[in-house]
């Protein structure tokens, strides 16, 4: 990817961040960053120095062969990318959750975010839950300050407990008065192996709603359908798993028997938005 010289003077910028590891069940959140980077031909602004933040025995470098037959060594790092859309520019932040120096790491990212001067910062995560794979993926949306809650129309987070790098970044955004939202997808714990395109698609749809900007889903819908069919097939081979999933489905349907009004309205708005402004795969 060719480098861009500056993160300044972007069009209606929004920052979207996700980190692999603890925050990223089924690689669902990082899958959104990868998808958006690919469909927009995102350009690299800068990458963090891996020596400062990563334990290479935990996040090991990888060796790969390029299409030209060249052997390359890739070190784990966090990249900051600029993804152009027809209506605005997205700044994508993605990489493994750091192992060291979290405060310095977040300070470097916050410095970049302040340079961007975004309209909103969206932090994406995914967690393992007892959600059945055959039902719509629950995506929770929240923010950490009363001001952002009122401005964005999101619930104020009341979570207490162990935190990942997303929570640290959210706290730093709050200190600086940057409007930040967190979106978390629920990934079935019994199919934790990545990828999970259904959860990635759910996060992407919710991100589109929050940004009020059409986002090209590419072939994620087909991948999600294929993934669900494969899980159904595997589950059918084990009666205990099938019974467990049926119990989860029954519990989910009793708690939410019909699509909620907000969900229906969001789907209609998404359809109208894409019809009015068809999502394009970035600006070439």
Could you report the per-residue pLDDT of 18-75, keeping only the tens digit for each? 999 999 999 999 999 999 999 999 999 999 999 999 999 999 999 999 888 899 999 9
| 134-164 pLDDT per residue, tens | 999 999 999 988 988 988 889 999 888 989 9
**Residue 160 falls inside a structural domain:** yes
3-state secondary structure of 157: coil
Q: What is the mean pLDDT of the chain?
A: 91
CATH of the domain at 158: 3.40.50.10900
Task: Say whether pLDDT at 230 is over 60.
Answer: yes
**Residue 283 falls inside a structural domain:** no
Angstrom CA distances, 242 to 37, 128, 198, stand at 37, 19, 20
Q: Which residues, in sequence order, are CB contacts of 191 under 8 Å at separation 6+? A: 26, 133, 231
**Residue 98 falls inside a structural domain:** yes
Q: pTM for the complete prediction?
A: 0.89
- What's the pLDDT score for residue 159? 87
C-alpha 169: how far from its chain's center?
14
**Residue 109 falls inside a structural domain:** yes
151: left (phi over 0), alpha (psi -120 to 50) or beta: alpha
Give the count of beta carbons closer than 10 Å to the beta carbon of residue 241.
Answer: 15
Say if CB 34 and CB 194 are below 8 A apart: no
How many domains does the chain divide into? 1
Higher pLDDT, 268 or 91: 91
Q: Which domain holds residue 152?
A: 14-276
| 96-128 pLDDT per residue, tens | 999 999 999 999 999 999 999 999 999 999 999
- What's the pLDDT score for residue 263? 61
């Amino acid at each position: 990817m060719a480098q861009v010289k500056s993160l300044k003077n972007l069009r209606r910028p929004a920052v979207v961040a996700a980190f692999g590891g603890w925050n990223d069940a089924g690689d669902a959140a990082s899958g959104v960053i990868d998808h958006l980077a690919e469909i927009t031909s995102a350009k690299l602004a800068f990458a963090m120095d891996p020596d400062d933040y990563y334990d290479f025995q935990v996040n090991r470098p990888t060796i790969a062969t390029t299409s030209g037959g060249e052997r390359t060594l890739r070190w784990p790092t966090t990249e900051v990318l600029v993804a152009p859309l027809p209506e605005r520019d997205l700044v994508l932040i993605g990489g493994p959750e750091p192992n060291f120096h979290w405060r310095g790491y977040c300070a470097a990212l916050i410095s970049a975010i302040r340079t961007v001067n975004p309209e909103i910062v969206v932090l994406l995560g995914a967690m393992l839950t007892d959600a059945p794979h055959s039902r719509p993926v629950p995506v929770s949306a929240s923010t950490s300050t009363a001001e952002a809650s009122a401005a964005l129309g999101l619930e104020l987070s009341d979570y207490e407990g162990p935190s990942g790098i997303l929570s640290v970044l959210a706290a730093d955004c709050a200190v600086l008065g940057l409007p930040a939202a967190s979106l978390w997808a629920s990934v079935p714990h019994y199919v934790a192996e990545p990828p999970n395109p259904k959860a990635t698609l759910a996060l992407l749809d919710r991100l589109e709603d929050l940004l009020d900007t059409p986002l090209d889903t590419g072939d994620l819908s087909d991948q999600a359908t294929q993934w669900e069919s494969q899980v159904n097939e595997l589950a059918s081979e084990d009666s205990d798993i099938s019974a467990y999933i049926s119990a989860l489905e029954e519990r989910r349907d009793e708690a939410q028997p019909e699509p909620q009004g907000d969900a229906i309205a969001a789907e209609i708005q998404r359809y109208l938005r894409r019809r009015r402004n068809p999502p394009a795969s970035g600006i070439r």
